[in-house]
Amino acid sequence: MNERARPENLATLENSPFFMPFSMNRAFKKAPRLLARAEGMYYYTPDGRKVLDGTSGLWCVNAGHCRKPIVEAVQKAVATLDYAPPFQMGHPAAFEFAERLAPLLPKGVNRIFFTNSGSESVDTALKLAIAYHRQRGEGQRVRLIGREKGYHGVNFGGTAVGGIVGNRKIFGALVAGVDHMRHTHDPAKNAFSRGQPAHGGELAEDLERLCQLHDPSTIAAVIVEPVACSAGVYVPPVGYLQKLREICDRHGILLIFDEVINAWGRLGKPFAADYFGVMPDLITTAKGITNGTVPMGAVFMKESLYEAFMTGPENAIEMPHGYTYSGHPIACAAGLGTLKVYEDEGLLTRVGELAKYWEDGAHSLKDCPNVIDIRNLGLIAAIEIAPRPGAAGARGLETHIKAFEKGTYMRVTADTIALAPPLIIQKTEIDQLFATVREVLKTVA
Ligand SMILES: Cc1ncc(COP(=O)(O)O)c(C=O)c1O
């Protein structure tokens, strides 16, 4: 075991200089929950306790932990080519990875820009959308439309189009020219829906309202998560995404699907676009692209977008955008190893077989104390519990901590438990996961 992971060395975390992201730093450092190693469906704590991974780390470890083909690919890559500059230079693994990814992408989406995270993918896609319109002589299309309750990472563009108030309010005016559609969450009509809610498809018309408000010819792009995950799992109502596509087509607006979580088999198809049968113009992704092993993201786009930039003199840089680590050799190796596991084990479609069992398990929790809604799609489920009066989020946090003590890790946002385990999960582990949630909810007053 790594020296630093030994419990006796962790006594001093209270004064640790590490400023933890999206965490309650002071409370955590007083009572840390640490993970020291992982294998398959499980994490292990520094003192050797086994913890079932109920949320694929942070929705990213779709193939399970420390998978041999990925580990070996990374080990080999790091010992062969540690780094290669991506501007005006290249290395074989980036081209090979793009070549291997292209046939997996939804029809018509075939060009790939590499980034290092979901946040970078989102900001890249937003910039590409604005630049694309300008390339075509529609430089007035500069507005960006997001949606309430959307999460698109934490960079300026993504924060601006995002719709989670707590993630926006302390960061100033963000980006000009952004507006938001209404969210689709309607518990009065849709609570305890199995899969896609029946009510609310017409909420897509809110985009038409914004088009009329701003003049559609000023709008560059609309970005949505097909299933909004981080804010609490909001499944799109039947017909909603189709309507968004129609409105975008009517007005020449690009549609971006943020599939940072939805992609890589989470819904039983490689991409949510495949699952819903709605084709966006751009797809942003990250997380499962390398199984979470090495940071990486990507933007996938239609040929027509790429072509719009391949004009002008050949000795000019077509896209003045990119990152020092775009298409990093070790990330590409991790990605190639990940695709091998996904393909060898049929993981990009395995959820199709599990989804019904998963849905039944999730909805069996309906009678647990304080449960006010259960939402699910593919291998995603949210169990929402009523907030404790005057202390929103307290029940959620207690549930998270108690579950961890009982050997299960699950992500909680406010009072919603979000479950999305690795796609290799077995039915017995699904049972175990929901049994733990039930047991814990009984003890959270
Ligand atoms: C839909 C979506 N977009 C963007 C992001 C940001 O990704 P990252 O944390 O890799 O920057 C996330 C992260 O959860 C996400 O769920």
Q: Is the CB of 146 under 6 A from ligand 1?
A: no
pLDDT recorded at residue 2: 43
Q: Is the CB of 260 under 6 A from ligand 1?
A: yes
> Tokens 């469906």 correspond to what residue?
41
Pairing of strands 178-181, 219-224: unpaired
Share of the chain above pLDDT 90, in %: 97
The residue whose CB lies within 8 Å of the most ligand 1 atoms, and thus the one to mutate among 60, 117, 123, 260, is 260
Res. 10: pLDDT tops 90: no
**3-class secondary-structure state, position 160:** helix
Res. 5: pLDDT tops 60: no
Res. 294: pLDDT tops 70: yes
Atom of ligand 1 nearest to the CA of 286: 10
Q: Is the CB of 150 under 6 A from ligand 1?
A: no
pLDDT level of residue 12 (50, 70, 90 thresholds) = confident
pLDDT level of residue 11 (50, 70, 90 thresholds) = low
Pairing of strands 408-409, 219-224: unpaired
**What separation in Å is there between the alpha carbon of 426 and the centre of ligand 1?**
27
Res. 215: pLDDT tops 90: yes
pLDDT level of residue 35 (50, 70, 90 thresholds) = very high
| Mean pLDDT, rounded, for 301-313 | 97
Q: Is the CB of 145 under 6 A from ligand 1?
A: no
Q: Is the CB of 234 under 6 A from ligand 1?
A: no
Token pair of 12, please? 């001093």
Q: Is the CB of 295 under 6 A from ligand 1?
A: no
| Mean pLDDT, rounded, for 413-425 | 98
- How far is Cα 109 from Cα 302, in angstroms, rounded to an integer? 4
Cβ-contact 239, 279 below 8 angstroms? no
pLDDT level of residue 9 (50, 70, 90 thresholds) = low
Cβ-contact 36, 5 below 8 angstroms? yes
**What separation in Å is there between the alpha carbon of 260 and the centre of ligand 1?**
6
Decide: pTM greater than 0.85.
Answer: yes
Token pair of 185, please? 């969450």
Q: Is the CB of 281 under 6 A from ligand 1?
A: no
Q: Is the CB of 286 under 6 A from ligand 1?
A: yes
